[in-house]
Amino acid sequence: MPAVIDFRLATLNDLDSMALLEAAAGYSRWTSDAIRTALERHSVWLCIERNHSDEMLCGFAIFSRVLDEAELLNIVIDPGYQGRSLGSRLLAWSFSNLSDDGICHCFLEVGQDNGPAIALYEKLGFKLEGRRKGYYKKSDSRIDALIYCKNLDKPN
């Protein structure tokens, strides 16, 4: 039976796998403690590959929520699974869940030099809302953060 890609809510049992994936993806912005805090305080969804009774973590997305707004804090896709539209699928699934929970808007920040991420977000309907000058430190310089917003469809 071929493997199936599925999505589910993360739990504290997923902490070690998420920390390993964060490091493997080369970002290493989020420590294990930061991921634990996110699991305890925020909405975290996983992209997993199911093969028989096994699960393999392919990616995750972390959202903070306040009233009817959410912010995408982090999204990571395993480098071995990139290029398969898993980021798009994970975000679409997350947006559906957020919308079902009454979230109307989703915000995010992205470095102005992150072309692939910007292309993904714009493809998913995010609109540029603003800019934070020099927000991200990159080597010995600073780059702007672009602020995007997506209006989420309300549930029927």
Tokens of 63: 């959202």
Judge whether residue 156 has pLDDT over 60: no
Contact call for residues 60 and 43 (beta carbons, < 8 A) = no
Judge whether residue 32 has pLDDT over 60: yes
> Which of 6, 3, 94, 2 has the alpha carbon at shortest distance from 47?
6
Question: What is the secondary structure of the chain as a DSSP string?
Answer: ---EEEEEE--GGGHHHHHHHHHHTT---S-HHHHHHHHHHSEEEEEEEEETTEEEEEEEEEEEEETTEEEEEEEEE-GGGTTSSHHHHHHHHHHHHHHHTT--EEEEEEETT-HHHHHHHHHTT-EEEEEEEEEEEETTEEEEEEEEEEEPPPP-
Judge whether residue 64 has pLDDT over 90: yes
Q: What is the pLDDT of residue 155?
A: 52
Q: What is the pLDDT of residue 152?
A: 93
> Per-residue pLDDT tens for 82-122?
888 889 999 999 999 999 999 999 999 999 998 988 999 99
Judge whether residue 50 has pLDDT over 80: no
What is the pLDDT of the chain when averaged over all its residues?
Answer: 87
Average pLDDT over residues 1-14: 81
Q: What is the pLDDT of residue 1?
A: 47
Q: What is the pLDDT of residue 2?
A: 56
Q: Among residues 49, 69, 71, 109, which one is catalytic?
A: 109
Average pLDDT over residues 28-34: 81
Judge whether residue 27 has pLDDT over 90: no
Q: Among residues 22, 81, 121, 148, which one is catalytic?
A: 121
109 among known catalytic residues: yes
Q: What is the pLDDT of residue 154?
A: 64
What are the extents of the domains in the chain?
Answer: 4-151
Q: What is the pLDDT of residue 82?
A: 85
**CATH code that applies to domain 4-151:** 3.40.630.30
122 among known catalytic residues: no
> Which of 5, 31, 7 has the alpha carbon at shortest distance from 18?
31
